[in-house]
Amino acid sequence: MLDQERVRESGVELSELLEQVAAIGPTMAAHAARHDAEGSFVAEGVRLAREAGLLGIAVPVELGGRGATVGQVAAVQRALARYCGSTALATAMHQHVVCFAAWGYRHGERRAEATLRRVARDGIVLVTTGGGDFTRPSGTAMRVDGGYRVSGRKRFVSLSSAGDVLSTLFPTGDHGDRRVLSMAIPIDAAGVTVLDNWDALGMRGTASHDVCLEDVFVADDAVLADRPYGIIDPPLQVVIAIAVPIISAVYLGVAEAAYRAAIDAATTHATDPLIQYKLGRMAHRLRIADWALDGALSVAGHDPQPSMDTVAAVGVAKLEIARAGAEVCDLAMEIAGGTSFFKGSIIERCYRDIRAAKFHPFTPDRTLLHAGRVALGVPADQW
């Protein structure tokens, strides 16, 4: 069991992390509109976060990191999103993989130690395909001497332009006896190709390109886990408890950026009762979304345990944040008026970026379906 007090005592202060975000945030923001217009990778933002050591904050102190908790990581990503949503979302995908690796290390998974040390010492960037793969990953894994040969095309691979190691999933076995293998594959391995095909409505700077793997050899020691196919098993329950609050925090930060821009736009109409009402509505929705995130982090705790109740709790929190964020961004456009309809407007970018919140597992309808199954006590692990 994790020593909660030791984590709190050895970890970094959140105020210190947020000061670092405030120091680099304006530079990120200065490039955000250009990357959104071009659909190009937010290279400056990721570089700044990397150089500031923010991508290694979740690594345990004894491995060279700063011992940040999941809640602290979520707060950092939320703060980054107020400057650049794409930078925050892209780096969030790295952050939650690091957080899970740190969780595994603290629970006796010593194979995570080398990766965590490299994150802290060398600043390597981890890229995941888990959002697109989830419990039923695409591709094939064929057993060969010393490991596996894998092939497949992975979608929504955020941060792929800057990644060093791909944390990915492949199915193996026959249809009647399928398993899911969790693997770590260097991005520069023979047979791995990052396509330049990310062209989306929002979060356009995340470099969420497709990644193609063709007959890539993966040694046995790079296979990190063997899980059931189509099942939200206990390790995946922990992944969800860690990843969903971090990702949700990004979207809350995006909504907060729209709110701040709406306040700036409303200064010349501050006496208009309709403007006052809409700002009040935005503040109301953001407050509840903030409570939802706090609730999710409280339920998961510093040391998440496998639990379908926790999966359901963080899921409905994400759903609330997604819905609140969309409403806040809609209202921001109404307050700012026609100027917010033009490309280059912060509000217009937030309006598009927030729409991506629905596409992370679970989708809104499936979130409620899962929560209903948990409430009824019927099986909720098949997915």
Q: Kindly state whether residues 238 and 372 are assigned to the same domain.
A: yes
Domain that holds residue 70: 4-124
- For residue 46, being part of any structural domain is answered with yes
Q: Kindly state whether residues 194 and 306 are assigned to the same domain.
A: no
Q: Kindly state whether residues 269 and 369 are assigned to the same domain.
A: yes
Domain count, the chain: 3
**Tell me: the pLDDT tens digits for 137-174?**
999 999 999 999 999 999 999 999 999 999 999 999 98
User: Which tokens hold the place of 92?
Assistant: 């969030």
- For residue 78, being part of any structural domain is answered with yes
Q: Kindly state whether residues 188 and 287 are assigned to the same domain.
A: no
Q: Kindly state whether residues 41 and 153 are assigned to the same domain.
A: no
Q: Kindly state whether residues 62 and 149 are assigned to the same domain.
A: no
- For residue 80, being part of any structural domain is answered with yes
- For residue 383, being part of any structural domain is answered with no
Q: Kindly state whether residues 206 and 272 are assigned to the same domain.
A: no
Q: Angle at the Cα of 362 (from 241 to 111), degrees rounded to 5?
A: 40
The domain that contains 214 carries what CATH number?
2.40.110.10
Q: Kindly state whether residues 296 and 330 are assigned to the same domain.
A: yes
Q: Kindly state whether residues 117 and 140 are assigned to the same domain.
A: no
CA pseudo-torsion sign 139, 143, 145, 146: positive
Amino acid at 333: M
- For residue 189, being part of any structural domain is answered with yes
Identify the CA nearest to 150 among candidates 186, 125, 177.
186
Residue 150, beta-bridge partner list: 141, 216
- Residue 356 is predicted with a pLDDT of 98
- For residue 364, being part of any structural domain is answered with yes
Q: Kindly state whether residues 180 and 256 are assigned to the same domain.
A: no
Q: Kindly state whether residues 9 and 92 are assigned to the same domain.
A: yes
Residue 15, beta-bridge partner list: none
- For residue 382, being part of any structural domain is answered with no
Pick the last residue of a domain from 108, 124, 140: 124
Task: Provide the residue-wise pLDDT of the chain in tens; the chain has 383 residues.
Answer: 333 433 444 589 999 999 999 999 999 999 999 999 999 999 999 999 999 999 999 999 999 999 999 999 999 999 999 999 999 999 999 999 999 999 999 999 989 999 999 999 999 999 999 999 999 999 999 999 999 999 999 999 999 999 999 999 999 998 778 999 999 999 999 999 999 999 999 999 999 999 999 999 999 999 999 999 999 999 999 999 999 999 999 999 999 999 999 999 999 899 999 999 999 999 999 999 999 999 999 999 999 999 999 999 999 999 999 999 999 999 999 999 999 999 999 999 999 999 999 999 999 999 999 999 999 999 999 99
- Dihedral over alpha carbons 227, 228, 233, 239 (to 10 degrees): 40
Q: Kindly state whether residues 102 and 139 are assigned to the same domain.
A: no
